[in-house]
Structure 1
Amino acid sequence: MAVSLLAREVSDLCLGKPALRSLSISATVGDALSALKRVGENYVSVWNCDHHRHLSVADMIDARSDECRCVGKVCMVDIICFLCKDENLSNPGTALQAPVSILFTRAPGLVRHLEPNASLMETIDLILEGAQNLVIPLEMGIRNSRKKLLQKTLSNSTLHDNRQYCWLTQGDIIRYLLNSIGLFCPTPINPINSLNIIDSHNILAVHYDDPASLALPFIARSLEMQTSVAIVDTEGKLIGEISPFTLNSCDEDGAAAIATLSAGELMAYIDCGGPPEDLIQLVKERLQERNLEQALELMEEDSGISSGASFSSSYSSSSDEEFRVGRSGRSAGYSARVVRRSEAIVCYPWSSLVAVMIQALAHRVSYVWVVQVDGTLAGIVTFSGMMKVFRERLRTVA
């Protein structure tokens, strides 16, 4: 039964998913920033569709689907990390004119296109091989009125060669597996320390008092790995985290915060409710000390460098976001957006696999930190590690 489950077509996981918003590969970093603010989404996909510039609507309708390819995706964290570089922080206006391709790696295999009839097993294999972004066509049913629909949706940047696409995430797959978890018993009720999925070697962590700039390469790496950066004390106990998910809800002035604050201060800066006034003032003072006048202007402008409303007021909640209540009992809200707090999601080595799956899905994260009873960080469990367990389970019963 489990084998037949993973033979199901991947289109079953795409029902109701929104079409991707997109940018051309010829766009700039500033264009990406404006698009993120305008559409109010976590990510914008980047497509190599320049051949469309010189085609009529009729020609675009007849174009082959393999001529237009998604080559990457961009989020606010990518822009913040880019602006954190010394040369860009001193002149952010010039930095925003750089091509958008500078924000993401174009390494082969990170972005993969899949047809709707691909099996779930094929999809899991691609993720375990290193694919980070899976792009699936949506069934549109527009044969009789496709020209009218094409003209209508061109301005919305969701249509590519007569098709709309969506992201398929690791969370989508784990949620699908959880719905049929009984087919994999007894594996899901086993403790995670017996399944060899606690990764204690690839932990991205910094100390509370370290400069936040030291965490910058870890933030970029955690975004790619779909994990987070742990904040630990001198005894190795987990205090919190710098999550790309949370940082993604900040404005571009988050770059100034990373450049001037400690890791612990940054954790508070990006936490729910927005940055405290004392930290905002501290960032401004340190920018002045370093003569980073343009970065200071970036913080003081209500609408940012790019055109459009400010990110804080224009951002709306999406399917990947939710209010979350931490130990203190206060809900996590930041302006018009919905964000997660910097409090880390944790489990123990003896927690069951199914319990950790439910915990991660409930908090909309793709990982859970593993700690000992005294709070010492022991490792991390990721969705890809969980998928490996289910894939191995199928090999043993096949």
Structure 2
Amino acid sequence: MAVSLLTQEVSDLCLGKPALRCLSVSANIGDALSALKRLRENYLSVWTCNHDHDPDASFSSTSKSDDCVCIGKICMVDIICFLCRQDCLKSPTTALHSPLSVLIPRSPAGLVTHLEPHASLVEAIDLMLEGAQNVVIPIQSRRNTTSSRKKLLLHNKPSSNSTLHNNREYCWLAQEDLIRYLLNFIGLFNPTPINPINTLNVIETENILAIQYDSPALAALPLISQSLINHTSVAIVDADGKLIGEISPFTLNSCDEMVSAAIATLSAGDLMAYIDCGGPPEELVQTVKDRLEERNLGAFLELMEEESIITSSSDDEVGGSGGHGRSGRLGGYSARLVRRSEAIVCYPWSSLVAVMIQALAHRVSYVWVVEEDGSLAGIVTFVGMLKVFRERLKSMI
């Protein structure tokens, strides 16, 4: 059984995975925003196609001259963080016409990496441990290539409606997919999974992304961006270092671009209440509007008012039923289930397998570690877990 796991091909983990929705790196941020709302997707993959002589093809140093290469992914959090910049708040319409390439990090490299379907599970784990957020893998096309798709391929302008590149469709694997798969074989790793996490060197205590409750939310902006890359979150703590809650990219991703104004004007603690499921309290919405006006950010205030009118119209069209998605939100929230700002926590003496199950159950890639008094002690991430399992796999070779 151990040998079978070591030689497992990543294509087996791709069964049932949907094909990636695509955008060209030559699109602009407004295009990405419209696609995210229209398709109600969490992420869109971004591609550069050298044989189309794309000016941004330099993003990929490994692509061949006739290849389409996925160079990154875009989500609502990327757009929210971009719009929080002072110049973007002053002129959000202009900001949305900025090229999509400004949201694709040029470093650290390798956040999105291609891998062939016959590669082993171990190879995928190693790529994740080297810093890859997602591994892009070709999948067998579930439909014939029609003439329109062939035309799209020849012109090679990836759009949010396209899933085909190099006459292939692709999916991606995330850290969660690997952890979920390894959980199916957890017995092979005994006794490691039942050991307390404080005995496995898996608790990260350095460089924890945290901010105090009363600090300006804008001070958390670089932390939010980093947590999106790290697949973690930003802890909100009180003056004594006790964990109060979190600002999670997962939750922010269920909001719309108007949350940028809340980040720019509220405290970290108030932002938690603003993005919590159920929609922001009316008094906080008014506070945001008042502060935008005080700071001469009338352009963004006008955008908020326009969005409010659009959302109200969407509500009327569905008979006030409260049915909202990316295309129509109540207080900046989609109708799909979002997690509250209450942090998911464990203790130093919790077992590794218990923490794994806890993270998977809540659809997060990390769990905060707290002491008995609630003080923040560290964080356990999927990457840390993968390191533990990778060491055990070495002993099986």
From the superposition, tell whether residues 13 and 152 of structure 1 become closer, same or farther in structure 2 (CA, over 3 Å).
Answer: farther
Alignment of 1:258-269 (within 5 A): 258-269=263-274
Q: Which amino acid in the other structure matches residue 347 of structure 1?
A: C
TM-score by length of 1: 0.87
1:253-283 CA distances to partner (integer Å, 9 max, x unpaired)? 1110000000000001000001111110110
Cα distance in 2 for residues equivalent to 1:77 and 1:267:
15
After TM superposition, the score normalised by the length of structure 2 is 0.88
Moved over 6 A (4+): 152-155
Kept in 2, the 8 Å contact 1:170–1:383? The answer is yes
1:19-68 Cα offsets, whole Å, 9 max, x none, are: 111111100011111111111011111100264599xxxxxxxxx99600
The 5 A counterparts of 1:175-186 are: 175-186=180-191
The match for 1:224 among 201, 222, 229 is 229
Cα separation, 2, equivalents of 1:231 and 1:66: 47
Cα separation, 2, equivalents of 1:238 and 1:171: 24
Match in the other structure for 2:199: 194
Measure the CA separation in 2 of the matches of 1:221 and 1:233: 21
Structure 1 residues 374 and 152 mapped into 2: Cα distance closer, same or farther (>3 Å)?
farther
Shift in Å, 1:215? 0.2
Structure 2 SS opposite 1:314: coil
Judged with a 3 Å threshold, the aligned counterparts in structure 2 of structure 1 residues 128 and 53 are, in CA distance, closer, same or farther, namely: closer
| Deviates most, 132-141 or 236-245 | 132-141
Structure 2 unaligned runs (5+)? 55-63, 154-158, 316-322
Counterpart of 1:98 in structure 2 is: 98
Counterpart of 1:75?
75
Task: For residue 218 of structure 1, report the CA deviation from its aligned partner.
Answer: 0.1
- Which residue identity lines up with residue 251 of structure 1 in the other structure? D
Give the deviation of 1:141 after TM superposition. Answer: 5.8
Per-residue CA deviations over 1:165-224 (Å, capped at 9, x if unaligned) read 112110000000001100111110000000001000021000000000000000000000
Specify the SS of the correspondent of 1:351: coil
Share of identical aligned residues, percent? 71
In the TM superposition, what whole-angstrom CA distance separates every residue of 1:353-388 from its partner, at most 9, and x where no partner exists? 000000000000000000000000000000010000
* SS in structure 1 at match of 2:146: helix
**Counterpart position of 1:111:** 112
Count residues in correspondence: 368
The CA RMSD over aligned residues, in Å, is 2.4
Tell me by how many angstroms 1:161 deviates. Answer: 1.6
CA shift in 2, pair 1:66/1:385, >3 Å:
farther
Residues 359 and 315 (structure 1 numbering): CA distance in 2 closer, same or farther, change over 3 Å? Answer: same
* Compared CA separation, residues 240 and 152, structure 1 to 2 (3 A): farther
2:169 is matched with 164
In structure 2, how many angstroms separate the alpha carbons of the residues matched to 1:269 and 1:286?
15
Residue 285 of structure 2 is aligned to residue 280 of structure 1: yes
Amino acid at match of 2:272: M
Contact 1:229 1:243 in 2 (8 A): yes
Opposite residue 109 of structure 1, the aligned amino acid is G
Pick the aligned partner of 1:255 from 253, 260, 271.
260
Structure 1 residue 130: Cα displacement? 1.2
For the residues of structure 2 that align with 1:218 and 1:51, how far apart are their CA atoms? 37
Match of 2:362 in 1: 363
Kindly provide the CA deviation profile for residues 262-319 of structure 1, in whole angstroms up to 9, marking residues without a partner as x. Answer: 00000010000011111101100010110100111121112799xxx89x93339xxx
SS of 1:370's partner is strand
Q: Whole-Å Cα distance in 1 between the matches of residues 362 and 66 of structure 2?
A: 36
**Cα distance in 1 for residues equivalent to 2:22 and 2:261:** 27
Provide closer, same or farther for how the CA distance between residues 94 and 44 of structure 1 changes in structure 2, counting only shifts above 3 A: same
Question: 2:338 maps to what in 1?
Answer: 339
Matches within 5 A, 1:346-357: 346-357=345-356
